[in-house]
Chains A and B, each alone.
Chain A
Amino acid sequence: MIERPSLPLIARSYLKIALSSFGGGLSAWTQQIVVEEQRWIDDREFLSGLALSRMLPGPTMVNFAVFLGSRLRGFPGVVAALAGLLAVPFIGAVLLAMLYFEYQHIPQVQPALAGMAAAAAGMSIGMGVKMLMRRAGNLIELLIVAAAFILIGIMRVPLLVSLLFLVPCALLLIRGETK
Chain B
Amino acid sequence: MNMGVLSELISFFGGLSLLSFGGGNAVIPEIQRHVVLVMNWLSDAEFVALYAISQSAPGPSSLFVAQIGWRIAGWPGAIAATLAMYTPSSILVYLVERSRQRFREQNWLARLEKSLAPITIGLIFAGGWIVAQEVGKDWTGWLLTAGMAFFVVTTKLNPLPLVLVAGIIGMLAWG
**Interface residue ranges, A against B (CB under 8 Å):** 18-26, 51-63, 66-67, 70-71, 75, 78, 82, 85-86, 88-90, 92-94, 96-98, 100-101, 104, 107-133, 135, 137, 141-142, 144-149, 152-154, 156, 158-160, 163, 166-167, 170-171, 174, 176, 178-179
Contact = CB atoms under 8 A, between A and B. Distances in A.
A62 B147 CA distance: 29
Interface string B18-39: 1111111101111001000100
Nearest to A113: B49
B5 interface: no
Interface of B: 15-25, 27-30, 33, 37, 45-46, 48-64, 66-67, 70-71, 75, 78, 82, 85-86, 88-90, 92-94, 96-98, 100, 107, 109-132, 134-136, 140-142, 144-153, 158-160, 162-171, 173-175
Contacts, number: 389
22 contacts: A18-B60, A57-B18, A58-B93, A59-B61, A66-B90, A66-B97, A70-B93, A93-B57, A93-B67, A111-B174, A113-B49, A114-B52, A114-B141, A115-B141, A116-B52, A117-B131, A119-B144, A119-B159, A123-B128, A125-B129, A148-B120, A152-B29
B55 A71 contact: no
Given A90-B59, A116-B170, A148-B125, 16 more contacts: A18-B58, A55-B109, A62-B90, A63-B90, A66-B94, A78-B94, A118-B135, A123-B152, A126-B148, A126-B149, A126-B150, A127-B152, A129-B152, A141-B118, A158-B30, A159-B27
Contact of A171 (B21, B48, B115, B149): B115
Contact of A56 (B15, B92, B110): B92
Contacts of B94: 66, 70, 75, 78
A99 to B, nearest CB: 9
Contacts of A132: 121
Contact of B125 (A18, A113, A149): A149
Contact of B160 (A22, A92, A174): A22
A167 B141 contact: no
A23 B55 contact: yes
B109 A122 contact: no
A100 B132 CA distance: 20
Contact of B30 (A60, A131, A159): A159
